[in-house]
């Protein structure tokens, strides 16, 4: 057996969340980690390094994909629609060719996400660096998007808190906030128009943050799948060793 012995694995896992797994699940994890590549089993440090490398590469690819003009707006997989009531109003007005201001707001919402995404690189990389060796062991041989799913589950709350002011500033720069304020003023004098509520502006920002991060994670997952399935995407030795 390689440097990373079965006894070492068991000792490490005993103190981790995996200790709560049943014997079959634990066996599957052990088999996946210890099977390694054609060159032999993986050490725990190699497993962690490989996962971090895959996520780092995925973040770079994702930001390159979405952090450009029309990166969100022209991509049907991640385009950000207006939230809730605003979308309903947009669809109703579109029947009469009167949805122009809401169409502008939707475009600006996507423009905000496109401008905010590149500024999030450091946030994502800090989160990747904080991943422990134990975190990596149970995902190195998981599903096609196991690393991305784990990363999203563990970091979404923190990323949302940090990403929110970035998105707010971006929406201000592209004019989305101003468009929203004008829209609210117009609706206020239209008989029978729906009231958006006191928190509508913050809801719009929160929606942009949620969908913006969702778009980034979507492409991180696509890159992880490609690394696992396509040898040509394993551009470093550690990626070839972990995912080979």
**Region 163-180: what's the mean pLDDT?**
92
Contact 43, 3 (CB under 8 A): yes
CB 115 within 8 A of CB 175: no
End-to-end CA distance of the chain: 18
- Alpha carbon 174 to chain centroid distance? 23
pLDDT of 57 strictly over 80: yes
Give the CA distances from residue 116 to residues 67, 97, 184, 209, in Å, rounded to whole numbers and listed in that order.
Answer: 7, 31, 25, 9
| Averaged pLDDT for residues 131-146 | 76
Q: What is residue 225's predicted lDDT score, i.e. its pLDDT?
A: 87
pLDDT for res 18: 35
pLDDT reported for residue 41 = 67
Query: Lowest-confidence range among 5-9, 110-114, 162-166?
Result: 5-9
Looking from the CA of 4 toward its CB, the CA atoms found within 13 Å total 22
Q: If DSSP codes are grouped into helix, strand and coil, which group holds residue 134? A: helix
Any bridge partners for residue 37, and if so which?
40
What's 42's DSSP letter?
P
pLDDT tens digits along 20-31: 334 344 334 434
pLDDT bracket for residue 14 (50, 70, 90): very low
What three-state secondary structure class fits 203?
A: helix
**Using one digit for the tens of pLDDT, what is the confidence trace for 76-103?**
999 999 998 889 889 988 998 988 989 9
Pair of tokens at residue 140: 């190195």
Find out whether 70 and 79 touch, Cβ atoms under 8 Å: no
Q: Tell whether the model's pLDDT for residue 34 goes beyond 60.
A: no
| Separate counts of helices (H) and strands (E) for the chain | 11, 0
Q: Which residues contact 228 (CB under 8 A, 6 or more apart)?
A: 144, 243
- Positive or negative: CA dihedral 167, 169, 175, 179: positive
Query: Taking 60 as the threshold, does the pLDDT of residue 112 lie above it?
Result: yes
Give CA–CA dist 204/54, Å, rounded: 32
Rounded CA separation 122/128 (Å): 10
**Neighbouring C-beta atoms of residue 23, cutoff 10 Å:** 7
Mean pLDDT of 182-207: 82
Residue 32 has pLDDT above 90, yes or no: no
CA distance 52 to 124: 11
pLDDT at 195: 73
Within 10 angstroms of residue 16's Cβ, the number of other Cβ atoms is 15
Query: Above 60 in pLDDT, residue 216?
Result: yes
| Cβ–Cβ < 8 Å for 79, 163 | no
Note the pLDDT of residue 91.
93
Q: Compute the mean pLDDT over every residue in the chain, rounded to the nearest whole number.
A: 79
């Amino acid at each position: 057996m390689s440097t990373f012995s079965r006894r070492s694995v068991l000792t490490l896992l005993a103190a981790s969340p995996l200790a709560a797994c049943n014997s079959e699940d634990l066996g599957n994890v052990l088999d996946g980690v210890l099977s390694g590549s054609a060159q032999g089993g993986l050490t725990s440090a190699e497993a962690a390094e490989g996962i971090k490398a895959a996520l780092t590469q995925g973040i770079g690819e994702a930001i390159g994909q979405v952090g450009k003009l029309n990166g969100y707006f022209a991509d049907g997989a991640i385009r950000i629609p207006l939230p809730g009531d605003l979308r309903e109003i947009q669809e109703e007005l579109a029947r009469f060719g009167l949805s122009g201001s809401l169409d502008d707001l939707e475009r600006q919402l996507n423009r905000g996400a496109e401008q905010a995404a590149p500024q999030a690189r450091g946030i994502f990389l800090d989160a990747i660096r904080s991943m422990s060796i134990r975190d990596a062991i149970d995902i190195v041989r998981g599903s096609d998007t196991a690393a991305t799913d784990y990363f999203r589950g563990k970091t979404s709350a923190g990323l949302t808190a940090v990403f929110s002011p970035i998105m707010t500033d971006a929406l201000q720069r592209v004019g989305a906030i101003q468009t929203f304020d004008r829209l609210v003023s117009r609706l206020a004098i239209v008989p029978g128009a729906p009231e958006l509520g006191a928190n509508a502006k913050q809801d719009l920002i929160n929606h942009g943050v949620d969908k913006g991060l969702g778009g980034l994670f979507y492409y991180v997952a696509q890159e992880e799948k490609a690394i696992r399935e396509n040898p040509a995407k394993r551009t470093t030795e550690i990626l070839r060793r972990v995912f080979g």
